[in-house]
Chain A
Amino acid sequence: MVTVLERDSDLRRRAWDAAASVVDPEIPVLTIADLGVLRDVALAGDHVEVAITPTYSGCPAMNMIALEIELALERAGFRRPKVRTVLSPAWTTDWMSEEGRQKLHAYGIAPPRASNSRRALFGAQAVACPQCGSENTELLSEFGSTSCKALWRCKACREPFDYFKCH
């Protein structure tokens, strides 16, 4: 016999899996769960409310992600799902899963490194090239193709690459 509680946790699991399948439109190898953007999935009756947190204040992907979550939940049979944005605690790259870091690397983006050097000028940190692995790399620009990335170049293989910034 299925108790109400078991049914609820099963439903919640299904809702979580549906929301967690949504990918970042800018970096489609990462799901919002890999990124740590998916914070919570709550059930109220048969309604689902999903909490997400923005990576950067102005990240234009957030609207798209919220829309994709609603679509994914509706496809999974949940009616009128809601997405709300939470600001606190503030998102950090520390929340990125190990699997997410590996996927980023395989995709050609250097994953974030634990860092407390955001205030150090002319950043002395070493970032390994995701193509050839060399640490003989240089920063071209602190700001890259999206809010979350910086532009680097490998001096060994001469390939430019994106680095997912620590945040």
Chain B
Amino acid sequence: MPSANIQVSETPLVLYALRRADDALVLGHRLSEWCGHAPMLEEDMALSNIALDLIGQARELYSYAAKAEGKDNDEDKLAYLRDVRQYRNLLLVEQPNGDFAQTLVRQFFYSAFADLYWRAMMASRDTTLAAIAAKSEKESAYHLRHASEWIIRLGDGTDESHARAQAAIDHLWAFTGEMFEVDEGERGLIHAGVAVDPASLRGRWLTTLSDIASEATLELPQNGWMQQGGRVGRHSEHLGHLLSELQSMQRTFPGQTW
């Protein structure tokens, strides 16, 4: 029986777009899991709105990846018909929601990075990537502000909220190193002026984190051992469970449309 998974020809450009798309989709899906469960109605709406922005960004990036690949794939196939090993997202974004603090710390780490990343990508020589970045940058600025305000409230809040926020930071820190890693293919795109060199963002990312953490009376861990693997398809156990829900309709009724 033929595999239900699609094959993707991962040229450096296709892979580059896929990695960003997978980050946005997986994180967007995680946030959507809060819909109907957030601690208050306003937050329920906020997290769902941010999820919507991220899934919108993912759609643009998947469409571009499909176009760059030039085969039979499209945004839906890329999202619904790749198995867990074919996903290229950061391990950070697939981590479970945990408590509210864990969700917001994950969001804070990612948004502080994405905000810088999109702003830098606006200067890409690839006009489609530059256009997607210009759109996403406006959205990520709001996401970062939202997460930052929550980190301050939680960290500088009660003993309980402080302890939970600190525990989330300590737990998720090891997944942040991957954001700054690039492989050889991506290095080529950086030299060509297409991709962003994430190493150039690390200093400003750390400054954002430490400014907010200090206002929140929280401690950032000293640089320690970092977990990797998401960018090449080696994922934590959590992603498979996430995809089984995200893809269940297409897997059950292949090709169905609304």
Residue with the highest number of chain A CB atoms closer than 10 Å, among B43, B135, B144, B146: B135
Q: Chain A binding site: helix, strand, loop or mixed by DSSP?
A: loop
Q: For A143, what are the chain B residues with a Cβ–Cβ distance below 8 Å?
A: 42, 45-46, 48-50, 142, 146
Complex: how many Å from CA A98 to CA B87?
46
Of the candidate stretches B124-132, B166-174, B188-196, B229-237, the one touching chain A is: B124-132
Complex: how many Å from CA A56 to CA B59?
12
How many A-B contacts if CB must be within 8 Å?
A: 84
Interface of chain B residues 44 through 58 with chain A (CB within 8 A):
45-46, 48-57
Chain A: minimal CB distance from B128 (Å)? 8
Interface of chain A residues 29 through 78 with chain B (CB within 8 A):
54, 56-60
Pairwise interchain contact A140-B139, C-beta atoms closer than 8 A: no
Complex: how many Å from CA A92 to CA B45?
22
Q: For A147, what are the chain B residues with a Cβ–Cβ distance below 8 Å?
A: 49, 52-53
Residue with the highest number of chain B CB atoms closer than 10 Å, among A90, A120, A143: A143
- A interface residue count range (under 10 / 10 to 19 / 20 to 34 / 35 or more): 20 to 34
A58 partner, pick from B45, B57, B152, beta carbons under 8 A: B57
Chain B positions within 8 Å of A, measured between CB atoms, are: 28, 42-43, 45-46, 48-57, 59-60, 127-128, 130-132, 134-136, 138-139, 141-142, 144-146, 148-149, 152
Beyond A57-B53, A142-B146, 18 extra complex contacts between A and B, CB < 8 Å: A54-B135, A56-B52, A57-B136, A58-B53, A58-B55, A58-B57, A59-B52, A59-B56, A92-B138, A122-B149, A141-B45, A142-B46, A142-B145, A143-B49, A143-B146, A147-B49, A151-B45, A167-B138
